[in-house]
Amino acid sequence: AQSVAQPEDQVNVAEGNPLTVKCTYSVSGNPYLFWYVQYPNRGLQFLLKYITGDNLVKGSYGFEAEFNKSQTSFHLKKPSALVSDSALYFCAVRDTGGGADGLTFGKGTHLIIQP
Amino acid sequence: DSGVTQTPKHLITATGQRVTLRCSPRSGDLSVYWYQQSLDQGLQFLIQYYNGEERAKGNILERFSAQQFPDLHSELNLSSLELGDSALYFCASSVGDRRSTEAFFGQGTRLTVV
């Protein structure tokens, strides 16, 4: 079975500071990993994904994520936070080898950027 | 705007009733996924269709069913509704059915069962 853990319900960061939203995963094989963002009363927007290759993945709106196989982590990062980054962030995983074909999502992390 | 259209945006209905949620995928996308988002269960995968055929099933109840039509739009049918079915239902679409492909989500249908 595949699973995702987002250990923090909420992350507070001052505008202009770097931010990190944590994600760890569990799959039986190798993972495909995704980050999505959800604004209030909106659907999920795709930010970035890790398939293979370079462990540092760059995505939309200045976000990036670092894949760490030994720690089974895929943390989302941004060098300088904006107030407009405040939203709900979801990490998701899909096993490359089979199993559930839908994405398995974490519970989500509320990111609050304070002016 | 993701290009995925869901209707209606809001739906209020009584217990025991049946409703149909509709999804139009992005132009050219052959895969459609349905997800349920609730406060207690989070985001859960329900079912996937690819080019009209059921491809994968997740945590979908027997009271729920879906289909994808020749024009690729999809409908999710929820019957014998219970209070616990109140949730946000998302449709997502992707170009193909490869596991590495990201899906693009609609804005969801908020279902309230009273």
In the prediction, which pLDDT does B88 show?
Answer: 96
Task: Tell me: pLDDT of B96 over 90.
Answer: no
Whether omega before B8 lies within 30 degrees of 0, making that bond cis, reads: yes
Mean pLDDT of A95-112: 84
Q: What is the pLDDT of residues B10-57, one digit of tens each?
A: 999 999 999 999 999 999 999 999 999 998 889 999 999 999 999 999
Residues of chain B contacting residue A45, judged by C-beta atoms under 8 Å apart: 2, 105
Question: Rg of chain B over CA atoms, in angstroms?
Answer: 13
What are the two backbone dihedrals, phi and then psi, of residue B32, each rounded to the nearest 5 degrees?
A: -130, 135
Q: What is the pLDDT of residues A51-82, one digit of tens each?
A: 988 999 999 999 999 999 999 999 999 999 99
> How far is CA A23 from each of CA B13, B55, B57, B100, rounded to the nearest angstrom?
37, 28, 25, 18
Facing A101 at nearest CB: one of B4, B56, B92? B56
In the prediction, which pLDDT does A98 show?
Answer: 62
> Which two structure tokens, joined as six digits, stand for B15?
């217990």
Question: Rg of chain A over CA atoms, in angstroms?
Answer: 14
Taking phi first (over 0 means left), then psi (-120 to 50 degrees means alpha), and beta for anything else, what does residue A83 get?
alpha
CA distance A107 to A32: 18
* Start-to-end Cα distance in chain B: 31
Query: How many contacts, defined by CB atoms under 8 Å, are there between A and B?
Result: 60
**Chain A residue with minimum CA distance to B32:** A102
CB atoms within 10 A of CB B70: 7
Residues of chain A contacting residue B42, judged by C-beta atoms under 8 Å apart: 105-108
Q: What is the mean pLDDT of chain A?
A: 93
**Does the distance separating the beta carbons of B42 and A102 come in below 8 Å?**
no
Q: What is the pLDDT of residues B57-95, one digit of tens each?
A: 998 999 999 999 999 999 999 999 999 999 999 999 998
In the prediction, which pLDDT does B1 show?
Answer: 83
Task: Tell me: pLDDT of A34 over 80.
Answer: yes
The residues, any chain, with a CB within 8 Å of residue B95's CB and separated by 6 or more, are B28, B29, B30, B31, B101
Task: Tell me: pLDDT of A97 over 80.
Answer: no
Q: If DSSP codes are grouped into helix, strand and coil, which group holds residue A62?
A: helix
The string of DSSP codes covering chain B is --S-EEE-SEEEE-TT--EEEEEEPPTT--EEEEEEEETTTEEEEEEEEETTEEEEE-S--TTEEEEE-TTS-EEEEE-S--GGG-EEEEEEEESS--TT---EE---EEEEE-
